[in-house]
Structure 1
Amino acid sequence: MPENHIRSVNGAETLLPGLPEPGTPQADQLIELSVRRPAKGVVVLGVSGEIDMFTTPLLRNALDEQLTAKNDRLVLDLSQVSFLGSSGLAVLVDCLHQAEDNGVGFCLVSSTRSVERPLKVTGLGDVFSTFPSVSAALAA
């Protein structure tokens, strides 16, 4: 059963009201992605909105595309993220491993509680290279 469905007492499956199917066009209303190339081989992928089970398929596709595009460095700008759920954390960990396997430098830009808190609570704050701004990440 999909995660945005519930089963009622009589066994009928129903969609939770107001929630889109994961990865559907409605999910892209919850997240906005942008790509900048400030230098050769360097990509800044900006994320704005919520990173949850509905939007992670969109984020994963964008990250996969950049990680397989022969870039030297990928900066993931999470400074405009209002929510980072466990499915989003899983995508970040997967992409870190994929970046390492492909020889791509991967770092996060994060300065908000909505991102810092989940990273800290899960112990992932020590796993990722994290910077307070895109300019700091690019200068590193």
Structure 2
Amino acid sequence: MAEQPDVERALSLETTETDGVVVVAVVGEVDMATSPPVRAEVSRRLDARPAALVLDLRRVVFFGTTGISMLVEAEHHARRLGVPLGIAANQACVLRPLAATEVDTLLTVRPDPAAAIEAVLPESQ
């Protein structure tokens, strides 16, 4: 029998909230095995309708097509709820797939959470 990947070692989430803005930091790999907890946390946080949500991907080391799909779903969910969504990413393993698929044109992507918050909530700065 094949071993199940150790999702807990491959991925961790750190969620903070300041002044109604939620930042979900993803650490590790985003793939088919690890994306369900990320999707669940993002969905749960969006459903609470924060002032904004930023998905911090700066410590992601692998970002596959599942990650791209996850971001598109998050954007659609956020838009339906009227919650501004920003993405913080500054490394090639995330930025290249987003650019290659042109998903970066659908999202507000900035190099760090502060810039993402400012982009989606300009009045906050």
Report if TM-score (shorter chain) is over 0.5: yes
Contact 1:35–1:46 (Cα < 8 Å) also in 2 = yes
Determine if the alignment matches structure 1 residue 82 to structure 2 residue 61.
yes
Partner residue, 2:123:
none
Identity %: 34
Structural mapping, 1:56-135, within 5 Å: 56-135=35-114
- CA apart distance, 1:19: 4.5
Structure 1 residue 42: deviation in Å?
0.8
- 1:30 paired with 2:2, answer no
* Contact map agreement 1:72 1:103 (CA 8 A) in 2: no
SS of alignment partner, residue 101 of structure 1: helix
Aligned residue-pair number? 119
Any unmatched runs of 5+ in structure 2? 120-125
TM-score of the superposed pair, with normalisation by structure 1 = 0.80
After TM superposition, where is structure 1 displaced by more than 3 Å over at least 4 residues in a row?
none
- Given that residues 28 and 58 in structure 1 are in contact (C-alpha distance below 8 angstroms), is that contact kept between their aligned partners in structure 2? no
2: CA distance, partners of 1:72 / 1:135: 14
The one of the two structures with greater contact order (alpha-carbon pairs below 8 A, sep at least 6) is 2
Q: RMSD value over aligned CA atoms?
A: 1.2
* Separation of aligned partners in 1, 2:83 and 2:25: 17
Q: In structure 2, what is the Cα distance between the partners aligned to 1:116 and 1:72? A: 25
8 Å Cα contact 2:87-2:108 kept in structure 1: yes
Which residue of structure 1 aligns with residue 22 of structure 2?
Answer: 43
